[in-house]
Each structure stands twice: as C-alpha cells, then as structure tokens.
Structure 1
C-alpha cells in the first residue's frame, strides 16, 4: 500500500526486478522480489534500482570502475534519479552502499535520502584493505544513517574499525523450507550441504565425507571449487533452483554447515531453512552463527575440526528419527517478513531522528517484541 515516504531499494547489478519476476513466474525462485523487499510496500512507496542494458564496452567500463573503487559506482550512478527521489535508501551489500555514499559525498544537496546500508563482506575484507582505500571507505561509511550487519561479530568489527556511527546487528530472515515429514528417509541416511559462500570450508567437508562413508552427501553448490574437486562416490554434487533446494530438506537426515572463520554469519540462510524444516544441524562455530541456531536442534563444533564434525554427524545418525526439537525459525523471528519489518523500523527511526526500536535486534518475531509501534509489525 505504501505511504508518502519513498524508499529506493538498490540491489546489485543482475537482480533486475523485471528479470527476477520472470524467474519467479518460471518457479526458479520462491520470493516475488530479491530478498522479499517488496514487503516494504505496506509501509513505504518503493522504487527499485534497474539494470541498464550493456554492450561489451559498457560492461568493461562498469567493471573497471568497480575494480578501481572497490564498489559498483557506475551501476548506482545509473540509478541516481531513483536515489534522488527517495526519502530513504536500502542497499543489500557494501558494493552498493559505498557507491550511494560517494554520490552523497559528491553532491550532498542533491542526494539527501537517509541510507540504511547493509554490509556483508566488508569487515571480513577490512584487514587486507590498503591504507588509501581504508581511508576512503572510512569517510564513506560515515555518510549513512545506520549500517546494518547480520552478526554481532560484524557489528563489533565495524564499530572498532570506524567508531562513532550507528551500527546495528539485524537478524536475517528468509523463506521457510517445508517441514520434514517427521522421520529420516528410508535407506541410506542423507546429509544435505548447501552453499556458495566464499566462507564455506570445502576442505573440512572433504575430510568429513571420508570419515562418514555410511551416509550419502547431497552437495548443492555453484562453487567452482566444489565442482572442480574429486569427491568420493557417496557425495553427489549438483546445482539446483531455490525451490529445489527447499524441497531437499524434506528428504534429508542432517544438514551440515562447514564454515571457515568469518564475520558475517556465513550460512545463516541455510541454518534458518534447516530449522524451519525441522532438520538437525551440524555447524562450525564461526561468524556469530551461534545466535541463529541457539535453542534449535543444532551441534556447534570447533572450526576446522573434521573429527568433531564427523562425530557430531554420526551421533545424529545414531539417534532417534523424528522432527528436531527446540525453538522454530518462526518463533525466533527469522522470516523474511520479520527481516523487512526490522528494516522498516530502522528507516522510520532514521527519518524521524528517533532512537531505533530494540525490536530490530531481537531474535523473536517482530510482532512479539516489546515497544513495536502500531502498524510497523510483520
């Protein structure tokens, strides 16, 4: 329905909402829009970034500028009119929010929208950023009303790197998987492994598959590293659409999340999907993922410890079949509706100059959290 307040949603090049709608119509993706940001329409008038068609030269130029600056300024520049019309800007990663900040730095009178800037990989990369680029980014991130991150580890790293800003850990939310029918699949137990993130520990997984030969491993990934490896015969590597990934939970016994050290709760989407499906999880204790699986049927194991990871899987396989116990993803406020509602709360606070509502950081349904204003719940 929207209001007079206008929000510009700037997503990366390639997430054109028209193209996404075609994918949704074909059944390739579950959400109607990227990250279900269309749910913000109940509070704001929403306008999306668009992808300008590119020939070879235009793409070369955009990618060259992106490489030089460290973010996709050309894509954001092409959408500058959307940003100029907005009262607030949402971005999904630093590749977009740093570009928005540069626009605001170059022309502060023209680009006055408050920015709700989500970072994903920025603080993982920060220790390796050059001094010149770090100083540049340091200035840019101060242009945002609030920075959103998905884990407390990222939040603390951000605050330490560039103090004096509002940085908020907002629990992510995603589409829920269908519940497991309540019993492990007949026959050989199946371990589901899903992910493309750069912080998946494929070396660890390779060692675990050798230690647990009695189970089938269903490995769904687009990672080039995954597809280039030689896996044992009981490991089945494939790609899949989002609906196919969600369907895979119903035929799985355990979900495995092998993670490298990181700051951004790598694997939180898979953890949420597994919790919603009622499947036990074995996960490396990295990046603040523990906040997402607290109270769920999950085993946290030390990072890089293949023996401990394999032992946890085997304990799960030896245990009684049935739905996982513990709090549900819905109870913990890990739906996409909760996620977008949290961003709406932050946006309204930024536009009014008020302190943000503590509901945005709570791992519970936004509608159940204290002090949520009427009409701003999911």
Structure 2
C-alpha cells in the first residue's frame, strides 16, 4: 500500500503542471481616451473588451507606472511616450502597446541670451531666445516678436542687435515675446554701450605759430569712430627739431632758433588696447619780441650837404632778426642834418 500513497500526489502535480502549461495566454488590449495633447496632459487607459488577464501592469513610458485596472496618468513632459500594458494570468503574460504624444503647454517663460552684453557703437550682437511652457518644457516652434529700446539701438526680426551711438546702460535694451495657447510670455535683457576702438586723434592747435622763448600747450583727444573721447588712451609726444622740447602733458617749448614756414614740429603717437594712431603737427617758430634795434654807422666824416644811406634791423633777445613792417627815421637836431623816410641821411651845417 505504501507505493500507491506516493503516486497520488505526483499524479496530481503532473496534471496541474500540464494544465498550466497548456492554458492560453491572457489577452492584453487597451485604448486611450486621447493619445495626443498639451502638457499637462491627462490620459485614461481603458481595457479593451477582449482583455482577460487576472492582473495588469502599466508602464506609461515616462518612468511612471501603475497596477490599477484602468489608471489615469498625467504627462507633465512633452515628447512621444510608448505605453506598455502587461496582462498576467498565472505564469502566462501578454503585451500591448500604444503611443502617446504630448506637446508643450501654454506659454511659461522665455530665456534671452547673447555671447556679450557690453558693446561699442555700431557693433552687432546675435541674441537667442528659448521658450518654455509653464512646466518647463522647451517650445521649439515659438514665434518670437523682438523689441528694442530705440535709444540703445536697432534689432531685426531674427534677434540681431545693432548698437546705437549713445553711451550708457540700457536696462531693457532688448525685449522678446511669444504667445502660445492664449497666453504670452516675455523677457528683456540689459545692454551696456561703451566707447569703441581708437579711430582718430583730434588736437589743438592744429598748427603751431609760436615765438622763440614762448611755449604753447598741445591738447590731444583720442576718439572712437563716432567721436566719443577715449580718456584711457596713452599719448606720447616727440619734438622733431633739435633743441625743441615737449613734456608728457603736451607743453611745447621751442628752442631759440627760428624755423622755416610750416615745418614738422611735433610727432604724436596715441595708443589704446593695441590700436595706434599717429599724427604730426607742423608750424613755424618765429623770432621773439623786439629786444634791440641795430643801425648802421655813419661815415666818420661827411661834408655839409653830403648824403649817406642808413640801414637798420631789429633782433629779439636770442639775436633772431625780426621782420619789421616799418622803420621811422628822425634826427634830434635839424642842424646836424636830415633823414628821409627811407633812411637817407644828409649832413647839415653844424660841424662837429
């Protein structure tokens, strides 16, 4: 009797395994209330009429899942999500899948960016805008409307900004706006406009006319293309004639030697951030103020009525000869003689 007692449970076990192995798999079938929409997008998953699993496992494709029979899930992220349903009965499983497409939702915010926000006049900068819905999903097809503070510059429909000529910081220089599903979002960004690169040099006086012994101060201004003064530019002066001197402030002191008309007197070098502009100031060093008058001597002896032509010239204190416009001749005693306007002296009757 002992062997029969052992065979019964084995026979039962074999029947159970055979029955389980031969059972058909469950049917996995479902549909969605809607398979496309805008975030946040609620989708209810409904089992089909043929679904006959004992239990179900849902994978919503976004990292979330459920074991409810007919769950509702909210998609907060945009994209295409493959939904998988696993139907289970015993150790048999079946699968079904569907795709849910989620587009970004209503306008949330926009981010403005540029590679630089400090520019010089007429410089261009390409601004980029990235739109997001209220859940932070990027919106690739946003239609941006660009705006600008007109005192700061100009911007085209593609976001290319061209700086104007007015210097300063403009807090809302560039603006952008977009609209989605009835709601708009906007943003702005500051721009600072500073002086441009060294372009030209302006100096005063533009020509030097100075007397020997006098000095003249040279004022030099470095400017950008627009004409803004560049205070940080470095100016170097060089006197071109031997004996002339000019200091670092631009004070020019010529030597006592006069010059020809319109010679080069000062060489100017202006440098800023690796850019250099050179220029030359020309002019004339004239004799100084009248210091002495030199008159040619009369012969030691003249007869009464005899004439002699006199000449005269003037010099400054450096012995530079002055060009005299007029010489007035006179004698202190008519008996000694007389002199004409041209300096012709005629001896008088007074001997001595």
Q: Which category of TM-score, normalised to the shorter sequence, fits these structures?
A: under 0.3
Larger Rg: 2
Higher fraction of helix: 1
Query: So what's the TM-score if we normalise by structure 1?
Result: 0.15
Query: So what's the TM-score if we normalise by structure 2?
Result: 0.16
Tell which has more relative contact order, 1 or 2 (C-alpha 8 A, sep 6+): 1
Higher fraction of strand: 2
